[in-house]
Amino acid sequence: MKKIDWFQLVNTVFIFLFALMCTLPILLVLIVSFSDEQSILQNGYSFFPDRFSLEAYRSVFASNEQLLQSYAVSIGVTLIGTLAAVTITGMAGYTLANRQVRYRNPIALFFFITMLFNAGLVPWYMMNDLLGFKNNLLALIIPTLIFSPFNLFLVRNFMQELPDALLESARMDGASDAYIAFRIVFPLSMPVLATVALFYGLGYWNNWFNAIMLVDKESLYPLQYLLYKMQSEINMINQMQGVAISNTLAPTESFKMAVAIITIGPIVLLYPFLQRFIIKGLVIGAVKG
């Protein structure tokens, strides 16, 4: 009879319970999004609602053309912005990690200062207005494209741990910095670049602030801002009607949950794709002794 591995059994049970704890809130959001508004107001959020309703999703998809257009804008902005931001961050990280670059530490200090001090909203708006980032797709990409110093130092620190012998051998063979960066360093740094890409992708996908400040055209509304406007309009309608005197309320609570389900879909699909890069130790075995 095979001996029971108690450690493996306890570890499996723990991981299962932890995964269940992470899954239940998402399941609750999904169920509430299909719940009747009156049922939510009377009984609160529940895994077993009294009545189900599709009113929240009808409200979301009331304007199919606008919703699809906003989806396309958000997807395009996220893909282009994330690719550009990761490329810029990767090149900056390689430069600051390159021991042949003079004054690389004082240069890094300039980036570090931006983590401590912020110019404020008014200069930010004036600069975007001066550069023409208003009512165009650049207004949704460029202001967020300036890479996060935290991501920059994360990439730099990872690249500094790469073996010097690998880079020196490439230089002795006549490889340029561009070749070393894009053909050697970036592939070996894929785990950290994938992690940074996930951070940038989440930032672009969830960004509605740029649209509020810099975009007036409905054709350029990203998904988050469109749903934010729809939520505000529903709240305003309920306030005008009055909860006490209205028998038919707009789906405020279920609408919030439906919006959450709609917006997290692409990110849920993105993470498994990046996870296989994050978990790989590509640096191991890069240099053979």
Residue 64 lies in a domain: yes
* Integer angstrom CA distances of residue 82 from 88, 144, 206: 10, 10, 13
**254 confidence band (pLDDT: 50, 70, 90):** confident
Q: What is the pLDDT of residue 211?
A: 87
pLDDT score of 245 more than 60: no
Residue 157 lies in a domain: yes
pLDDT score of 1 more than 60: no
Residue 270 lies in a domain: yes
Mean pLDDT on 207-233:
82
**249 confidence band (pLDDT: 50, 70, 90):** low
Residue 285 lies in a domain: no
Domain count, the chain: 1
Q: Where are the alpha helices (DSSP H) in 34-175?
A: 37-43, 55-60, 64-97, 104-116, 121-130, 138-145, 149-160, 164-172
22-36, 63-77, 210-224, 257-271: least confidently modelled range: 257-271
**84 confidence band (pLDDT: 50, 70, 90):** very high
Work out whether the CA dihedral 183, 107, 109, 164 comes out positive or negative. Answer: positive
pTM given for the model: 0.75
CATH number at residue 182: 1.10.3720.10
**Residue/partner pairs of 103-111 with CB below 8 Å, 24 or more apart:** 108/153, 108/156, 111/149, 111/152, 111/153
What is the domain extent for residue 160?
Answer: 9-278
Average pLDDT, the chain: 78
Cβ(140)–Cβ(220) below 8 Å:
yes
How far is it, in rounded angstroms, from Cα 278 to Cα 276? 6
**168 confidence band (pLDDT: 50, 70, 90):** confident
**282 confidence band (pLDDT: 50, 70, 90):** very low
Percent of the chain with pLDDT over 90: 3
Residue 41 lies in a domain: yes
Residue 13 lies in a domain: yes
Residue 288 lies in a domain: no
57-66, 94-103, 155-164: least confidently modelled range: 57-66
